[in-house]
Amino acid sequence: MNIKQLKAFKEVMITGSVSKAATNLFRTQPAVSAQLTSLENEIGMALFERREGRLHPVPEAEYLLCEAVEILDKIENLEDNLTR
C-alpha cells in the first residue's frame, strides 16, 4: 500500500467517481483505476462493488477511508512542518 493508492482511494470515496477523482488529482481515469485495482490486489479484497456503471463502497472501504484520511493528514502535517 502506498501514498498514491491511498490518495486515489480517498478521492474516489469522496467524489463517488473515478473520473472526478482523476480530474481532482490531475491524473487520467485509467491511472486512478489502476491505483484502485493495485490497492485491492494488495489487500486481497474488493473495496467497491461495481453496479450499473457506478462504484458502491463495501463496508470495509469506510473503515479504510477513516484510516487513509488519518494517515494522509499526518503525512501532510509532517511535510508542512519539515518545509517551514
| pLDDT bucket at 53, cuts 50 / 70 / 90 | confident
Task: Quickly count: other Cβ atoms within 10 Å of residue 8's Cβ.
Answer: 25
- What band does 57 get if pLDDT is binned at 50, 70 and 90? very high
Q: Which residues contact 25 (CB under 8 A, 6 or more apart)?
A: 7, 8, 11, 32
Average pLDDT of the segment spanning 60-73: 97
Q: Whole-model pTM above 0.85?
A: yes
Q: Which residues pair with 54 in a beta bridge?
A: 51
Q: Where are the alpha helices (DSSP H) in 1-84?
A: 3-15, 18-25, 29-43, 59-82
Q: What is the mean pLDDT of the segment spanning 13-40?
A: 97
Mean pLDDT of 37-64: 94
Question: Model confidence at 47, in pLDDT bands (50, 70, 90)?
Answer: very high
